Amino acid sequence: MDITRKQRRRLLTGAGVLVSAAGLVAGVVTFATSAGAVGSVKGMDVSGYQGNVNWQAAYNNGARFAYIKATEGTSYRNPYFTQQYNGSYNVGMIRGSYHFARPNISSGATQADYFVAHGGGWSRDGKTLPGALDIEWNPYSGGTCYGLSQSGMVAWIKAFSDEYHAKTTRWPVIYTATSWWTQCTGNRGDFTSTNPLWVARYASAPGTLPYAWGFYTFWQYADSGTFPGDQDTFNGAYDRLQALANG
């Protein structure tokens, strides 16, 4: 969500196998679907890059949920966050916020606290999704995995997740890509019983999912399209999206 569009398109385009399941586990809604399938909900995610968004137009075009970048590391806040977060809510979308992880500059717990303090909270209003952790390729210096070992990365993600849960009562959604997760965690750790998966892959199907997740909750399938920002789908019917928001 913050590496360049060219980088993401190259990294997220490739062959894979669709993995799906059915049920509701730890707030993770699971239905077999594709970007245009019946039983899925269209949505989008945006950051400061999109500036002020025409939310009414996006809603009129079919978007029913949105994730908004709130923070990055422990020093960056999206300058358009208020317009984007409140604007999506005001037109009737179910919205949530996300944090872009910088594991090489501070602990997972510290960044979770920063996120919650600056737009990453949750309320049981039926219109607010649990916050999301965007953990992916490092767009800065320090290597793809931010200089952490695979076990160190798992520990960092767990610390963020645990602290977010302690502060909000919700487990954060984890946004990632299968190739990054494999390389940087070594498929260690198991977040499937707690954290909904938001998988990124620019193709006609979500492909092979990160280790231990048998299903996905959100799928980011393109970096441009009908809506401003990245294009997403929720893996279930609208009432299941409402259930996720309600906790």
Rounded to a whole number of angstroms, the CA Rg of the chain reads: 16
Contact 208, 16 (CB under 8 A): yes
92 phi-psi bin (left φ>0, alpha ψ -120 to 50, beta other): left
Q: Which amino acid is at 17?
A: V
- Cite the active site residues: 45, 134, 136
- CA–CA gap between residue 154 and residue 174 (Å, rounded): 12
The Cβ-side half-sphere exposure at 60, using a 13 Å CA radius, reads 4
User: Residue 94: beta bridge partners?
Assistant: 65
Find tokens 């499937």 and name the residue: 192
- CA–CA gap between residue 119 and residue 131 (Å, rounded): 9
Burial class (CB in 10 A: 0-12, 13-18, 19+), 237: middle
